[in-house]
Amino acid sequence: MSESADIHAPGVEVKKSCCYFCHQNCGVLAYVKDGEVLKIEGDPTHPTNQGGLCCRGNIALLHLDHPARINHPIKRVGEKGEGTWEKIPWDTAIAEVAERLNQIKAESGAEAVATAGGTLRTDDWSRRRFMNLFGSPNGFHNALLCWIPTFNVETIVSGWSPFETDLGTSRCVILWGFNPGASAMPGMRGYNDLQKQGLKLIVVDPRYSETAAHANLWLPLRPGSDTALALAMLWVIIYEGLTNNEFVDNWCLGFEELQDHIIDYTPEWASELTWLDPELIREAARMYAQNTPSNIQWGCTADQLGKTSGAGMHARAIMRAITGNLDCPGGDLMPGPSSYYVTDEELEANDWLPEEQKAKQIGSNKFKLTSWPGYQKIADTARATWGKAPTSEWFCEAHGPSVFKAILTGDPYPVRALIISATNPVNSYGDAKMTLEALKQVEFLVTCEYWMTSAALYSDYVFPIAGALERPIIHNNYGVTDSLIASQRAIQPLYERKTDYEFWRLLGLATGQDPEQWPWETLEEAFYYVTWSFNEQGYQFGSYDEFVEKYRFFYPPMHYYKYGANGFCTPSRRVELKSSILEELGYPALPTWIGPAENEEDDPEVAKEYPLVLTTGGGFMPYHHSEEFNIESVRFLSSDPFFTINPEKAKELRIKDGDWCWIETRRGRIRQRANVEPSVDPRVIYAQRGWWFPERQEDTGEEPFGCLESNVNVLTSVDDEHCDPIGGSWANRGLLCKVYKVGYWDETDTSFSIPGSSPEPGVTVPPSEQKLAYEFIPYEPKPTFEVPEGLTWDPESKFAWDLELGLYYDPDSGWLIHPETQVYYDLYSKYAYDATTETLVDEATGQHYHMETREPIIATPTDMVGGEEL
């Protein structure tokens, strides 16, 4: 019974807010009286959650006014990391930060200022806007571990990521490295309901996850071997003739080459790598390909396999296409950017970032698809198709770990300032020891946070940010879908908190950016600008809040087979099984097997010392990433970190349930407690992610908040050779490790054991000397037509040019064309075509020539009237 709050009392308003603790953004009704939220509950009318709220959603009120929240801007007064602060007013803090950023920009260029973001807890188009106007290309997120590489790979293959599964009429869905049972509660309900109606669930997961427990077919593969499984399934689909021939013939390019390319990727071949029975692989492929329309649901695993990631994404993109599941009822839908509302990309001011600054983006010379080189190609193609491009924030960023390496080494150039918003990189980026070192060493660090974290602790300034219930929220899948769900704030931010949008706006204005670039004072104004055009669709509202209260959702009319009209949004307008963009960027154009970051086959020496396979990064209730560890009601249900080990292996290693153990890789070791249960293969260790100990407030030593003690990212690697060259993902899954019990001496001193194999945390090989997992394949674009003599083939523009006259050759007509005037010129004589007289004209002399014979025409004007010779 709620004794303290009566939600039925007079004067209580119901605000349509939403949960802001993961990406689902479930609807929340907030009961507000006099600026105070009395209660919250799940919104029963919200399409996502239908009244449901998970652990995270339910603690919104505890989160709102938690005693540990940061409520005022604070400035460091002691040594870095010492934890002594003084409160300062917002405007002073912003002015001081702006002055410092401008100074760094003047001394080292705008690119010396980088920003790090976290998971969706912000409106990062505003961060991008700030960075673009400031002139730095070095914004980044953990995006590379979460969907972005997949999105870009799928987009260059089929024109847009087919991520919206049309499950209502689907017959089979593969949940690939995706455990909605712990990370997408509303989704799990949907799958359960649809399964009752006959939907077949194939679950690919090395763990007996909450979702695997409900699978029709469960593939418990070796962690990190997903790409081998994908290639083998592709083999089965192609060589057992399970493709949709009509679609392949009409819409796919490169099928024959693909067929030859994957001939060796048999289920038997994959069986060794995945530990799966070849028959199981065949069964899965058949179930998926024979029960169309079917779907592949993206899961984070796809982006967390390190160097093997890119090929796997490519293989899955092909699977979707050749089974005919693209954009059809029940299939994988490709919404494209919204033509109805202002997309995130349109708010980012990307045009304001000079080309030379784009070229300086850290990591863009190595991981090209998710940075400017690849994104530019995607954006150009998309603009040519829809007039709009995917968001550049998230989808086109600096390579985070490379930025941290640049901070430590000055290679390729010094990064002197870092602004962190809504992330604790120590927990969420790979190689935590290196990342922590970078945060300690960066010259100027600013953090926008809810809490004091190990990252915030080393900051020069920390700004208090408004969270759930305190801000309006638009949910539109990072700005790359065509629908939109809107929520309003329940109350104005408490204390001195501001939204991140206001932070970036104020900082932008303080660094001297044009106020006209920041016309919206509040997020509501900005969101009204975003949604305003719905008024043209028959909606009627005068403010964003009114839109939320009256409509809340925008779903455009459903259109299947959108490609039917204009083809796919690829350079060739077809599904490019063999991707031209990958080829142009220097990557294998067809999915090619490469083993995971560490594996028994490629690294037998490592496997000898580290015989177990580690998988991590998977979500588990009740936490989301590294959040909620300081909410007692949540922490109470999961107070210690646990890793899972099979009883057989545990017995062999004399580990009992609940024992504290070390998990060690070549990078270092962490301690977690043993959860001994047969939910993983005896060769596999599953470790929980995100662990830190926010209650250890006064521990401001080398590892504040015990941030390395149980943090799985101590174990992961961000060496360039372990990252996916295509998308830059580093590996959370499929690493080699060993496990042993914590001994007496270890127990009394946990920090002593952290170093791992490198004596000092940091970077031992300069980034520019670090090799990629494979080398770029030099791209020599060949002309697709015969280049006439005397003309020069230009691979950049893909035209043959007459360099003397600046004309390009049009292979269809056989004429030369002037790029600006669009005047046609004769290939041989170089005379211009005069349309009025239908003759050729020598522009230098004005002499007309005969079209066919190219002989001079000397005739009276009347002769010319009919256009014919006398």
- Interacting residue ranges for another protein, rule: CB under 8 A: 1-4, 8, 39, 41-42, 44, 49, 51-55, 57-59, 61-62, 66-68, 181-182, 185-186, 188-189, 192, 195-196, 201, 208, 210, 213-216, 218, 220, 621-622, 630-640, 642, 646, 648, 658, 675, 677-682, 693-697
Nearer to another protein, 208 or 831 (CB): 208
Distance in Å, CB of 582 to another protein, minimum = 36
Output 21 or 593, the one with its CB closest to another protein: 21
Closest approach, Cβ 12 to another protein, in A, equals 13
CA neighbor of 419 nearest in space, from 441, 442, 398? 442
CA dihedral 279, 283, 284, 288 (to 10 degrees): 150
Min dist CB 95 to another protein, Å, is 32
Radius of gyration for the chain, computed over Cα atoms and rounded to the nearest angstrom? 29
Query: With helix as H, strand as E and coil as C, how does 559-573 read?
Result: CCCCHHHHCCCCCCC
Least distance (Å) between residue 49 CB and another protein: 6
How far lies 504's CA from each of 20, 129, 455, 509, 522, in Å? 20, 8, 19, 8, 11
In the bound state with another protein, the residue whose beta carbon lies nearer, of 651 and 854, is: 651
> Min. distance of Cβ 429 from another protein in angstroms?
24
How close are the terminal C-alpha atoms of the chain, in Å? 104
Query: Which CB atom, from 251 or from 686, has the smaller least distance to another protein?
Result: 686
The nearest distance, CB 696 to another protein, in angstroms, is: 7
Q: CB of residue 242 vs another protein: minimum separation in angstroms?
A: 23
Q: How far is the CB of 522 from another protein (least distance, A)?
A: 29
**Residue 465 C-beta: closest distance to another protein, Å:** 19
Smallest distance, Å, CB 603 to another protein? 25
Residues with Cβ within 8 Å of residue 810, at least 6 apart in sequence: 816, 817
Instruction: Kindly write down the DSSP assignment for every residue of 590-624, as one continuous string.
Output: S------SS-TTT-HHHHHH--EEEEE----TT-B
Of the pair 208, 404, the CB lying nearest another protein is at: 208
Task: Write out the two tokens for 46.
Answer: 């919200």
Token duo for residue 176: 């690939």
Residue 456 or 507: the one with the smaller Cβ distance to another protein is 456
- Residue 64 or 491 having the CB closest to another protein: 64
**Smallest distance from the beta carbon of 546 to another protein, in angstroms?**
27
Closest to another protein by CB, 66 or 818 = 66
* Dihedral angle, C-alpha 59, 65, 69, 75, nearest 10 °: 150
Question: Any residues with CB less than 8 A from the CB of 822 and at least 6 apart, and which?
Answer: none
- Classify the phi-psi angles of 6: left when phi > 0, otherwise alpha if psi is within -120 to 50, otherwise beta: beta
- Main-chain phi, psi angles of 176, to 5 degrees: -100, 105
| Cα gap 52→54, rounded to integer Å | 7
For the CB of residue 22, give the shortest distance to another protein in the complex, in Å: 12
Amino acid at 508: G
Residues in contact with 28: Cβ distance below 8 Å, sequence separation at least 6, in sequence order: 16, 17, 18, 19, 40, 41, 42, 43, 53, 57, 60, 468, 469, 487
Q: Which of 6, 35, 43, 72 is nearest to 497 (CA)?
A: 72
Which of 52, 556 has the CB closer to another protein?
A: 52
Q: What angle do CA 291, 293, 294 make, to 5 degrees?
A: 70
Q: Smallest gap, in angstroms, from Cβ of residue 185 to another protein?
A: 4
Contacts of 451 (CB under 8 A, 6+ apart): 68, 69, 70, 630, 694
Q: Count of CB atoms within 10 A of residue 612's CB?
A: 23
Query: From the CB of 58, what's the least distance to another protein, in Å?
Result: 4
Alpha helices (H) along 31-184: 55-58, 60-64, 90-108, 124-134, 148-158, 180-183
| Dihedral of alpha carbons 809, 815, 821, 822, sign | negative
C-alpha span between 512 and 510 (Å, rounded): 5
**Least Cβ distance, residue 172 to another protein (angstroms):** 13
Least Å distance, CB 181 to another protein, is 4
Specify the residue, 5 or 787, whose C-beta has the smaller distance to another protein. Answer: 5
DSSP 634-673: HHTT--S-EEEE-HHHHHHTT--TT-EEEEEETTEEEEEE
Shortest approach of another protein to residue 428 CB, angstroms? Answer: 21
- Contact between 190 and 162 under an 8 Å Cβ cutoff? The reply is no
Residue (67 or 538) nearer to another protein, CB: 67
Instruction: Compute the least distance from the CB of residue 61 to another protein, in Å.
Output: 6
Number of H helices, E strands in the chain: 29, 35
CA-CA-CA-CA dihedral for 89, 92, 93, 97, to nearest 10: 170
Surface-to-core class of residue 376, CB atoms within 10 Å of its CB (0-12 exposed, 13-18 middle, 19+ buried):
middle
Strands 839-841 and 815-817, by their bridges, are unpaired
Burial of 774 (0-12, 13-18, 19+ CB in 10 A): middle
Distance CA 284, CA 176 (A): 12
Helix (H) or strand (E) segment spanning residue 434:
helix 432-441
Beta bridge partners of 840: 833, 849
User: Which residues have C-beta within 8 Å of that of residue 255, sequence separation ≥ 6?
Assistant: 248, 322, 577
Q: What are phi and psi of 164, to 5 degrees?
A: -90, 105
Q: Give the Å distances, CA to CA, from 185 to 49, 182, 208, 244, 724.
A: 8, 7, 17, 33, 30
